[in-house]
Structure 1
């Protein structure tokens, strides 16, 4: 009996000791959690649950350690346990996070029901209003997949996390990476990944990343650097960094290390230096993901600073020059919600692209766009839909709209949350490509009718052939491939041939390719040129054959006698002086007078034709109203003798 009593007392002490230990563990986990050390906090909470101790708080925090690392399927496990075991008094935000996690695992109908419960508890929030207004369209959003764009992972061979692309000049991309950290060997408590550095990579012709290397100079530190934006001249960069000074992280009153926006200047040796913190940062909040407007007069960013509607909002400051900036301005409830809005990007047409999990999306962060111009195409916040968005996190979207090419970040191809972040190339799916152009005379600029135009592939094989129309136009289409090398080859009679190579673009486009062909010094059918005739002159306003012209015509006559099968067409042209109708009639009379001269010399009429063209085929710029010399006008006043087939 005595032994049993002692045993019970000992068990009681052990139980109390165990309870106290677990409370201590939970308190420690809470401290770690509040410091955003989610990986460390997670291990403590998991051990607490393993020992058989549960509470709504433990399930909430466990779910959050996964949710805020974008590990939505694991977050869902703990949120559902919370709903099942403690259905009363669950904070509304956990209905929202559960709904988001359900969407990210493809359970859209269950997500809608959970969002309905959230909306009933939080009807006045922007999140609830967005859901109530838009939820009928969720099914169509899920089922719709744009055929306009294709998405390709350009960093899938890199380990860990790569995200936040930024254009740097015409042929480089800068991005944040934990895949090859070169500054320090620490890992971050939040995600368990190495700290991020900024890298730059060359873009090849397929917009893939080549030759990645860390940015040189004073930008990268032993802690986080990410999300850069560059001025168009490439000499200034704004970027995100941990609150870091004199080699050490700085913490706020809650012992948290916030994010801040910094600026650096490109030095003469090509490295980055003169790093300075922007004056609107503060130690009590995070400011991140800077993005310059196209005119470089505003800097946009995301922040949870005082005045933020949700977990993070999109803000901007005016850049005033001389290191001065305007006061931070929140973009308001049309864009920002009580959830997360981040990663802004401004296009050349002033479209704001950003990521959000507060507007209706497919799950996790989705990418949205809204025009900041009143007459812009996107009047309301618009989801970019699949394949740009997925049921995972999609963010850090940048685009060159005129080329319909860009990049984004996503963890869609992995199941490890932010560890699975990769950079994806976006470009327009190959549509209708047309190659067209005009074939013209290199000397006169005159369009060439019936020129032969061939389309050759990259192996120099003819894949199509056509003739130019009355205006010298040709066209190839309907069967051309995107990003394919082709050659256009043009020929006409005894003119010199000409060709031009090109590579077709992405998407749908018309590629204008004009070619000029150089006529021979003496065209094969120009008998007058071959016989080196001098100009055949007529008296002004007259059409009778002058004696000096007969000397030249005698050369043609001799050729006609020597070659009985030879037939010729006589063309007569004038300059632009006098009226067009007068010149046309005059040239017609001169052409017929010339033909009559040959007939009177014994040449059969059926071997001769004649026509006057007036001033319709000028050889130079000397048209009506243009001041020209007599010599310039004389070039147009000519007779030609064309050999007929």
Structure 2
């Protein structure tokens, strides 16, 4: 019995010891994961799994470690186990990353099924909306595919090459090819050697022509993703956060990224580097890109205000070299996932990589027009062969030569990441429809013109489309905002009028047309008020001063007299039958004179105007003294007339 008790106690202690050891191992793995040391985290988590300890959290972190190392096949395998064994603990992000990993392995039907589960959990997520709006996104990708001829980059090595940027007649790119004296300094994200920046001339015919940038730029830690001004004198680049040649970690033990700037010296070397003022020890700022006018710097960051894991931002570069305040490019471009590696062409097309917009798997390259820093345009996946099932990123493009470079970790590459050259054979087309709305009115009377025709005419004078105004005088149409167009309004009896709209960013536009009559068909004795469809000119009870609402109607008469200088008018004023005959005659005369005086004050020559009040002597209906009538019927008799004399 004693031996049995001892055995039980010994077994208990051994089990507790094993459990404690596994907990310590998991804790160590979590520390590596939280500090972005994914390669050692993978090794630790695998050891724990081999010992039979499994949990949803462990599978999630192991899957994410594979995912962030672009090992999508192993990531999909782990996520599959997570979803199968811990269905009640699966999060929306788990489903999203699982769906992305499946796309990278070519399992599109299964990926779509998993993505639908992601949508069920979080319908308001922008990625869910994009997937719903682009339910057949593969068809859209296929439509944009085949526009590029992809070729090799002769300076690839068995290591990593990526992040090309145009520099003079050649390139600057990032690589971990030089293991030399620094082989012991390996970073733990993917157990690869640290990256440096290299320069190569376009006419180089040998790997010997590839050389490192100077020691002021390269350190024993990471340097990558650069942007250089057109004059070749200013370099922006990404580097690990270091101080006094040692890495600086944030409160979670993470070494963040920063953008630095270097100036070319008179001796032709890169001088001392300086940090940009919006860098931080608590978040990353990376992957710089310059606008065509070099007045704006674009970059990726996870700074406060970020929608997802990383967003694209921009910041103005002041004339004195200082910077403005960084601004997020907004939710049309940025998703809850990763947006990174921006590049802006001379025609202001923003290219970037993302795994949040519908793609083929991993990071895909996308494009959108950003004229006048408007980021609301359509986002296009540039298609195959630029994009693949793996990560495709750091796309750069020369629009004059229609050539460029892109990096990818696709399986057929020479190294872990490789640069590819390409030639564009057919430009991307950005569907840009601009909505134009408005009304068509009579210029003088301001009355709506029902049934007026509004046409869109091309710059080649070709009629593209037309519509007519509705019962409220409104029209609406859409035109191609990639080109200039004329919008023309026509109505029988009126002079046509048109307005030119140049190529634009597609923002909705309102154009109200005010058409002039080609002539006023009227003669002596006609009432201009009827021709202009004037509303009743009202006066306050027992008063004859012009009211504000009546001024609008009189201004229409003034406009007609200004257009036709020979026009002379007699202003007749009438009242209803309420009140005495004598009072109404006096009141109507005062009102007629008040109207004439207003018009003279507004610039009409007094010789062109006369006035007369008729009181209740010319009623238009039966509402005489003693006849009971409604207010509406009495209103018919309270009127002003503008009788044409000449």
TM-score, reference length from structure 2: 0.63
State the Cα distance separating 1:323 from its structure 2 match: 3.4
State the Cα distance separating 1:143 from its structure 2 match: 5.0
Name the SS of the counterpart of 1:200 in structure 2: strand
Q: 1:7: which partner in 2?
A: 7
Deviations 1:282-302 (A, max 9, x none): 111000000011100000000
CA–CA separation in structure 1 for the residues paired with 2:156 and 2:333: 35
Per-residue deviation, residues 255-284 of structure 1 (Å, max 9, x unmatched) = 211000000011222221120001111111
Distance in 1 separating the partners of 2:375 and 2:263: 35
Query: Aligned partners of 1:269, 1:110: CA distance in 2, in Å?
Result: 59
**Distance of 2:374 and 2:94 partners within structure 1:** 37
Tell me, in whole angstroms, the C-alpha distance in 1 between the residues paired with 2:383 and 2:207. Answer: 25
Q: CA deviation at 1:179?
A: 1.5
Deviations 1:293-323 (A, max 9, x none): 1100000000000000000000010001333
User: Does 1:304 pair with 2:299?
Assistant: no
CA apart distance, 1:364: 0.4
SS of the residue corresponding to residue 342 of structure 2 reads strand
1:146 corresponding residue in structure 2: 145
Distance, in Å, in 2 between the alignment partners of 1:216 and 1:137 is 45
| Number of aligned residue pairs | 426
Match of 1:423 among 419, 424, 446: 419
Contact 2:146 2:383 in 1 (8 A): no
Cα distance per residue 1:123-143 (max 9 Å; x no partner): 1111111111112232x2565
CA–CA distance in structure 1, aligned partners of residues 201 and 409 of structure 2: 23
Moved more, 355-364 or 316-325: 316-325
Alpha-carbon distance, 1:145 to partner: 7.1
Which residue is 2:39 aligned to? 39
**Retained in 2: the 8 A contact 1:394–1:411?**
yes
- Poorly superposed stretches of 4+, deviation over 4 Å: 141-145, 374-378
Matches within 5 A, 1:300-339: 300-339=298-337
Establish whether residue 18 from structure 1 lines up as the match of residue 14 from structure 2. Answer: no
Cα RMSD over matched residues? 2.3
User: Would the aligned equivalents of 2:141 and 2:381 in 1 still touch at CA under 8 Å?
Assistant: no
Q: Secondary structure at the match of 2:20?
A: helix
Q: Distance in 1 between matches of 2:94 and 2:373?
A: 39
Match of 1:251 among 249, 266, 275: 249
- The correspondence of residues 224-623 of structure 1 with structure 2, limited to 5 A, is 224-373=222-371, 379-413=377-411, 420-428=416-424
CA distance in 1, matches of 2:104, 2:15: 41
CA distance in 1 between counterparts of 2:34 and 2:60 reads 13
Change over 3 Å in CA distance of 1:311–1:377 after alignment to 2:
closer
Structure 2 stretches lacking a partner, 5+ long? 428-646
1:197 paired with 2:196, answer yes
Shift of 1:115: 0.6
Aligned to 1:163: 162
SS at match of 1:7: helix
Shift of 1:28: 1.2
Whether the 8 Å contact between 1:154 and 1:209 is mirrored in structure 2 is no
CA shift at 1:214, angstroms? Answer: 0.5
Give 2:110's aligned residue: 110
Conservation of the 8 A alpha-carbon contact between 2:352 and 2:365: yes
- Alpha carbons of structure 1 residues 18 and 239: separation in structure 2 relative to 1, 3 Å: same
Q: CA deviation at 1:58?
A: 0.7
Gaps of 5+ in 1: 432-645
Residue 587 (structure 1) aligns with: none
- Once the two structures are TM-superposed, the CA of residue 27 in structure 1 deviates from its matched residue by 1.0
In structure 2, the residue matched to 1:89 is 89
The SS at the match of 1:191 is coil
Please state how far the C-alpha of 1:182 moved relative to its aligned partner.
5.4
Q: Secondary structure at the match of 2:259?
A: strand
Q: 1:235 to 1:143 in 2, by over 3 A?
A: closer
Following TM superposition, by how much is the alpha carbon of 1:429 offset from its aligned partner in structure 2, in angstroms?
A: 5.1
Instruction: Quickly say closer, same or farther: Cα 1:430–1:276, change in 2 above 3 A.
Output: closer
CA gap of 1:343–1:24, structure 2 versus 1, over 3 A, is same
Counterpart contact for 1:346–1:352, Cα < 8 Å:
yes
Q: Aligned-pair distance for 1:378? A: 10
SS at match of 2:136: helix
Supply the distance in 2 between the matched residues of 1:179 and 1:96 (Cα, whole angstroms): 34
